[in-house]
């Protein structure tokens, strides 16, 4: 599965470490993983990152930021969500171009109406005199920490407080004797997340979903950018099927992250971001679907069924949103494109 979510009733420090080591991350009071993202109907790969703290030391950029922000007061405390921080977050949210959570409460607690949390959350606050100008949150496990958010007053943008907060969290966690700091994911081809690649670079690693291990970011290549691989494989298959008069439609799948919805997570829904829909085969309501399973390195011919129909007008002819799908069975799997084609002709 490419997208999953768990909502633990409790979470021991060792359990958080284990989740993070497998490419999972916090979302409200849940913990999730995903390998693909969709921004403005364009798919990208999500590549999870971590900084190894054992050999980490402040780089020239952090030393420069320390000097730039030396007149400000920095405090670390246990997480305290209050109106002053919510007001600052609201100002920050209005100043950025990307989608941010509606509030700190929603970001950290989700739909919980109270302040109960399964995470050991800490905060960093930066003050100009008595004025709160920046803040951020991070969770601590037994040997690892995850950085949840960083935000700052728009009037102080020239101080690079976003980077300063992340660097400061990393240094704080190293001083605690932790081994790893997880800053979330970066997205190849989507520059809004590239700043994470410049923080602690010599000690930065990424998680290979296929190999199930952490690799130095210096070794990252197109071979680890999974979505373009899937896209290319399906386009080649589509062209080959067309030679045999088999019509297919290449679709983006609207509900590829449905398994990240708590109420749906137990149904193990179809979660491929793109697929080929077989148009002219005499099958049932949901016709055979072709995917490329990048984890297994195989083409797969699937029988899927609808578990919910939207009855909503289609806004994009290249996006499949008529049905929420579930895979009933895998008809056939093969690394060889000729064998997949042979099953359909």
Specify the pLDDT at position 113: 62
Distance, in Å, from the CA atom of 79 to the CA atom of 343, rounded to the nearest integer, reads 57
Tell me the two tokens of residue 108: 């950290």
Distance in angstroms (rounded) separating the CA atoms of residues 47 and 297:
18
**Residue 281: what pLDDT?**
61
Percent above pLDDT 70 for the chain = 96
Q: How confident is the model at residue 201 (pLDDT cuts 50, 70, 90)?
A: very high
Domain positions in the chain: 3-221, 226-342
pLDDT band at 112 (very low <50, low <70, confident <90, very high): low
Q: pLDDT tens for residues 283-301? A: 444 568 999 999 999 999 9
What are the tens digits of pLDDT across the range 47-82? 999 999 999 999 999 999 999 999 999 999 999 999
Residues 3-221, CATH architecture: 3-Layer(aba) Sandwich (3.40)
Please tell me the predicted confidence (pLDDT) of residue 243. Answer: 94
pLDDT digits (tens, 9 = 90+) for 237-275: 999 999 998 889 999 999 999 999 989 999 999 999 999
**112-117, Cβ contacts within 8 angstroms, sequence gap of 24 or more:** 112/28, 112/29, 115/81, 117/29, 117/79
pLDDT of 109 above 80: yes
Beta-bridged to residue 302, according to DSSP, are 289, 330
Which residues make Cβ contacts (< 8 Å) with residue 253, sequence separation at least 6?
A: 270, 272, 273, 274, 275, 319, 320, 325
């Amino acid at each position: 599965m490419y997208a999953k979510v768990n909502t633990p009733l409790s979470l021991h420090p060792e359990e958080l470490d284990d989740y993070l080591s497998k490419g999972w991350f916090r979302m409200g009071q849940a913990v999730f993983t995903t390998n693909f993202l969709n921004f403005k109907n364009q798919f990208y790969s999500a590549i999870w990152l971590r900084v190894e703290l054992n050999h980490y030391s402040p780089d020239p950029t952090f030393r420069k930021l320390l000097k730039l922000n030396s007149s400000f007061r920095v405090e670390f405390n246990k997480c305290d969500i209050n109106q002053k921080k919510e007001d600052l977050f609201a100002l920050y949210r209005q100043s950025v171009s990307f989608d941010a959570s509606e509030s700190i409460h929603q970001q950290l607690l989700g739909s919980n109406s109270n302040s109960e949390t399964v995470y050991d959350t800490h905060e960093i606050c930066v003050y100009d005199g008595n004025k709160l100008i920046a803040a951020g949150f991070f969770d601590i496990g037994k040997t690892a920490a995850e950085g949840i958010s960083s935000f700052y007053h728009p009037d102080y943008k020239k101080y690079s407080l976003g980077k300063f907060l992340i660097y400061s969290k990393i240094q704080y966690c190293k001083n605690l004797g932790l081994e790893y700091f997880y800053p979330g994911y970066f997205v190849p081809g989507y520059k809004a997340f590239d700043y994470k690649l410049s923080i602690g670079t010599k000690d930065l690693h990424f998680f290979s979903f296929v190999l199930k291990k952490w690799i130095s970011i210096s070794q990252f290549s197109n071979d680890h950018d999974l979505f373009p691989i899937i896209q290319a494989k399906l386009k080649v298959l589509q062209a080959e099927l067309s030679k045999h008069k088999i019509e297919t439609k290449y679709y983006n799948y609207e509900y590829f992250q449905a398994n990240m919805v708590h109420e749906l997570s137990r149904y193990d829904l179809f979660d491929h971001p793109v697929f080929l829909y077989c148009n002219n085969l005499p099958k049932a309501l949901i016709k055979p679907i072709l995917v490329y399973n990048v984890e297994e390195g195989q083409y797969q011919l699937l029988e899927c069924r609808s578990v919910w129909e939207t009855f909503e007008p289609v806004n994009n002819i290249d996006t499949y949103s008529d049905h929420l799908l579930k895979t009933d069975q895998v008809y056939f799997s093969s690394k060889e494109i000729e064998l997949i084609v042979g099953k359909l002709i």
